[in-house]
């Protein structure tokens, strides 16, 4: 452990970018002579909570949170701690959650690093120790998991009390943060030493019948036929935006179209108007944006019989005689017009939530007049969409509905069976 203690002396003389190097060189990783450059984990959907979990260490499930600064879990009784004056501890200071009581200043000498794991569903926060944990995950050639496993030793993770697991799916071990923090799961897995590029991809499934897929590293990525081409070749890109003191991923939003008509205009800059979230179930729009979108959508679906409203939604349709298209119910499309002019088009499959056999509701929620963020793009809107967070080029690749290219997020070949 003397190596770890030396780190903080080194830190005084290093820049932020070299912290990454120190982290990866202090983590002992096995399997160096492997031919792969990407890691893969299945994503399962919990139908009760609409939360999504990845599986690590063969059988441990962690709810994924794009905005979370690290992985947290219930530690064993005895666990190693991390010194306060370590770069790992310093690197998470900016993400100290205001939901937690503020920490009394401690004596610097032998203090243990305290962090603030948060359950974003209940908004509960806890003061807990930063610790280490071994994490393992499969390598992949992009088509199927490889038989070799990448073992990441002594990764920085946080402890959490059992109570922080309240309202999470039954059987999960904790949460896996994927944010820009230097000790998020994605940051620690995207190891230059292992030639894993700074890129991760998320494909959320819409049901619990087949798992979706998460990749760390670069493609090509292939889903089973009928789409054997590299899924990355279907993506459009828009710049990723960073905000101070936030590890979240944002993209610019210039406006919103409904049924090809401009209904919301947010100016040419679109300054980080959209936050991406895997823990908010439905896209939340601040009232000044929600109202015109809602009105335009109601107008554009005037001919379809309505059904009684089902909470938390305000507009539901009777789909008995509506039929459907390849991309879901035939309703007006909703375009997010992104900063670089690209349209992210949302079709019926991602705008209308089927709440019963014959009733579907507009799955956008009014965040109120004082919403902190104009748009939080929630998980229902990104199900069966392939999203690739390319941090090297600081851009987001997005596919819109994979139904267009006749595949789904449940079509990665996890079983390794032969095809085509």
Ligand X SMILES: *[C@@H]1O[C@H](CO)[C@@H](O)[C@H](O)[C@H]1NC(C)=O
Binding site for ligand X (CB under 6 A): 141-144, 257, 260, 305, 307, 318, 320, 335, 341-343, 358-359, 416
In the complex, the smallest distance separating the C-beta of residue 306 from ligand X, rounded to whole angstroms, is 8
Query: Cβ closer to ligand X: 81 or 340?
Result: 340
In the complex, the smallest distance separating the C-beta of residue 253 from ligand X, rounded to whole angstroms, is 13
Query: Cβ closer to ligand X: 95 or 297?
Result: 297
Contacts of 266 (CB under 8 A, 6+ apart): 253, 254, 255, 273, 289, 374
Three-state SS for 245-270 is CCCCCEECEEEEEECCEEEEECCCCC
- How many whole angstroms separate alpha carbon 68 and alpha carbon 180? 9
Query: Cβ closer to ligand X: 27 or 201?
Result: 201
Q: Confirm if 177 and 65 have CB atoms less than 8 A apart.
A: yes
Query: Which structure tokens are listed for 308?
Result: 């009684």
In the complex, the smallest distance separating the C-beta of residue 143 from ligand X, rounded to whole angstroms, is 4
Q: Confirm if 282 and 352 have CB atoms less than 8 A apart.
A: no
- How many whole angstroms separate alpha carbon 379 and alpha carbon 121? 13
Query: Cβ closer to ligand X: 305 or 368?
Result: 305
In the complex, the smallest distance separating the C-beta of residue 257 from ligand X, rounded to whole angstroms, is 4
Query: Cβ closer to ligand X: 40 or 89?
Result: 40
State how far the alpha carbon of 300 is from the alpha carbons of 14, 166, 260, 337, 347, in Å: 57, 41, 10, 19, 13
Query: Cβ closer to ligand X: 136 or 141?
Result: 141
Task: Return the biggest CA–CA distance within the chain.
Answer: 72
Query: Cβ closer to ligand X: 116 or 138?
Result: 138
Contacts of 255 (CB under 8 A, 6+ apart): 262, 263, 264, 265, 266, 270, 337
Token look-up 């096995």 returns: 30
In the complex, the smallest distance separating the C-beta of residue 337 from ligand X, rounded to whole angstroms, is 6
In the complex, the smallest distance separating the C-beta of residue 322 from ligand X, rounded to whole angstroms, is 10
Query: Cβ closer to ligand X: 153 or 309?
Result: 309
In the complex, the smallest distance separating the C-beta of residue 168 from ligand X, rounded to whole angstroms, is 32
3-state secondary structure of 115: strand
Residue 135 parent element (H or E): strand 128-140
- How many whole angstroms separate alpha carbon 275 and alpha carbon 318? 31
Query: Cβ closer to ligand X: 279 or 307?
Result: 307
**Residue 322: how many other CB atoms lie within 10 Å:** 17
In the complex, the smallest distance separating the C-beta of residue 141 from ligand X, rounded to whole angstroms, is 4
Residue 28 parent element (H or E): none
DSSP secondary structure code for residue 409 in this structure:
G
List 275's β-bridge partners, or say none.
250, 376
In the complex, the smallest distance separating the C-beta of residue 21 from ligand X, rounded to whole angstroms, is 30
């Amino acid at each position: 452990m003397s190596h770890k203690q030396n780190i903080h002396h080194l830190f005084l003389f290093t820049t932020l970018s070299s912290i990454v190097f120190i982290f990866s060189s202090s983590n002992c990783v096995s399997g160096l002579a492997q031919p792969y450059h990407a890691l893969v984990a299945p994503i399962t959907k919990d139908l009760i909570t609409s939360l999504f979990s990845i599986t690590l260490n063969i059988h441990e499930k962690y709810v994924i949170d794009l905005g979370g600064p690290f992985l947290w879990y219930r530690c064993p009784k005895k666990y190693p701690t991390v010194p306060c004056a370590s770069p790992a501890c310093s690197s998470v200071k900016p993400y100290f959650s205001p939901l937690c009581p503020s920490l009394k200043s401690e004596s610097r000498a032998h203090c243990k690093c305290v962090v603030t794991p948060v359950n974003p569903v209940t908004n509960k926060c806890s003061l807990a120790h930063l610790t280490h944990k071994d994490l393992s995950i499969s390598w992949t050639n992009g088509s199927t998991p490889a038989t070799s496993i990448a073992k990441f030793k002594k990764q920085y993770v946080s402890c959490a009390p059992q109570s922080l697991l309240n309202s999470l799916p039954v059987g999960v071990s904790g949460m896996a943060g994927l944010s820009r923090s230097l000790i998020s799961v994605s940051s620690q897995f995207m190891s230059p030493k292992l030639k894993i590029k700074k890129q991760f991809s998320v494909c959320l499934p819409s049901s619990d019948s087949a798992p979706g897929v998460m990749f760390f590293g670069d493609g090509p990525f292939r889903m089973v036929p009928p789409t054997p081409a590299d899924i990355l070749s279907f993506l459009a890109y828009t710049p990723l935006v960073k905000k101070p003191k936030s590890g979240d991923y944002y993209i610019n939003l210039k406006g919103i179209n409904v049924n090809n008509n401009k209904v919301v205009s947010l100016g040419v800059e679109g300054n980080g108007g959209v936050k991406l979230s895997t823990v908010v179930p439905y896209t939340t729009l601040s009232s000044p944006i929600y109202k015109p979108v809602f009105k335009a959508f109601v107008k554009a679906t005037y001919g379809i019989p309505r059904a009684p409203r089902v909470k938390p939604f305000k507009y539901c349709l009777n789909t008995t005689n509506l039929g459907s298209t390849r991309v879901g119910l035939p309703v007006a499309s909703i375009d997010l017009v992104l900063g670089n002019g690209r349209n992210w088009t949302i079709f019926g499959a991602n705008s209308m939530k089927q709440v019963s056999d014959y009733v579907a509701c507009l799955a956008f929620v009014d965040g109120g007049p004082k919403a902190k963020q104009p748009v939080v793009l929630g998980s229902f809107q990104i199900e069966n969409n392939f999203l690739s967070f390319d941090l090297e080029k600081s851009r987001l690749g997005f596919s819109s509905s994979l139904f267009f290219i006749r595949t789904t997020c449940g079509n990665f070949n996890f079983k390794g069976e032969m095809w085509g």
